[in-house]
Amino acid sequence: MPRWGMVIDLDKCVGCQACTIACKTENNVPHGSPEEQRSRREIYWNKVIAVTNGKYPHASTELIPMPCMHCDHAPCVTVCPVKATYRREDGIVMQDYRRCLGCKYCIVACPYGVRSFNSKEQEEKEYHRQDLPPDRSVWGPWPFPSRTHGVVEKCTFCFHRIDQGIKEGKKIGEEVVPACVEDCPAKARSFGDLDDPQSQLSRLLSSRGWVRLREEMGTKCKVYYLLK
């Protein structure tokens, strides 16, 4: 069984937020209004944060794209009372919207703030897709019938792409990748099997120094950052 992971090259990231937009489009994540952003209710499955160290004129800012870290020891899986959050065999941490009660305990427990609560029914706008997110006819079964408010949402590593790709016999990590990896103009992200020593990920991880975020939490997350 593969163990999917992601490597993000901080040297290449330009902070263009293309990954955020790609994620929103691919997964039909609602577009937030400025008001929702101010009140911190906008749903982000992927975010890009800017971290500054030092003071002018000796300041440096790092851009850190943050999808779900898909931790091996995920605190959200431990705290979910109804098994709505679970870890698949291939290591992807999933959210089952049919089971989710919306108790938000996982949001509190996640050390990376990658979980969002859907607090509003999606408005009907011409440019919004009201179909099942993403279209069922293309991607097969999706774990929730339609987007609903009152549940917690998060990044899925675009599992629907991976599952479909495996079914079609495609090479995951080269031919099939998550939307954020595909759309990155700087090719800062790569996706693949962490257990496969021949994968591009393993090559990248052995070539450069890397970090994982908040190692002190002991989450053993599967998103690696190559340092500048």
Partner 1 sequence: MNLTFTSIEGKSQGFWILAVTLGALSVIGLTCFMVSYIQGHYVLGTSNIIPWGMPIVITIYLIGLSAGSLILSSLTYVFGKKEYRSISRLAVFLAIVLIFGAMIGISLDLGRPEKGWRLFMFFIMNNMRSMFAINGILYGGYFAIGIFYLGFIFAEKSKWTRALGILAMCWASLVHMGTGAIFGFIAARPIFYSPIKPFEFLAAAMASGLALLIITVVSVFHFTKRKFDRKIIFTLSQMLLVLVIILSVIVGMDKLTHLYVPHREPALWLLSGPFSLVFWGLQVGCGYLLPLLILIHPRFKKTIKGVMIASFSVVIGIFGERFSLIIPGTAYPLPFYPGKIEGFWGAAGSFPFTPVESLMSIGVFAIMGLFFILGLKHLELLPLNEGAEQTPVPAEKG
In Å, how far are 62, 122, 176, 189, 200 from 162, measured between CA atoms?
30, 27, 7, 16, 16
36 binds partner 1 per the rule CB under 8 A: yes
Closer to partner 1 by Cβ: residue 1 or 51:
51
Site track 128-167 with partner 1 (rule: CB under 8 A), x = hit: --------------------xxxxx---------------
Of 71, 73, 53, 72, residue with least CA distance to 61: 53
For 216, phi then psi, to 5°, come to -65, -15
The whole-angstrom separation of Cα 19 and Cα 178 is 10
Task: Return the closest-CA partner of residue 62 out of 80, 48, 78.
Answer: 48
Residue among 18, 11, 10 at smallest CA distance from 185: 18
Q: Which is nearer to partner 1, 86 or 139 (CB)?
A: 86
* Residue 21 interacts with partner 1 (CB under 8 A): yes or no: no
Q: Closest separation between CB of residue 212 and partner 1, Å?
A: 11
Site string for partner 1, 84-123 (x = CB under 8 A): ---------------xxxxxxx-xxxxxxx-xxxxxxx--
Q: Which is nearer to partner 1, 53 or 206 (CB)?
A: 53
List interacting residues with partner 1 (CB under 8 A).
Answer: 36-43, 47, 49-53, 61-62, 64, 66, 75, 77-83, 99-105, 107-113, 115-121, 148-152, 213-214, 216-217
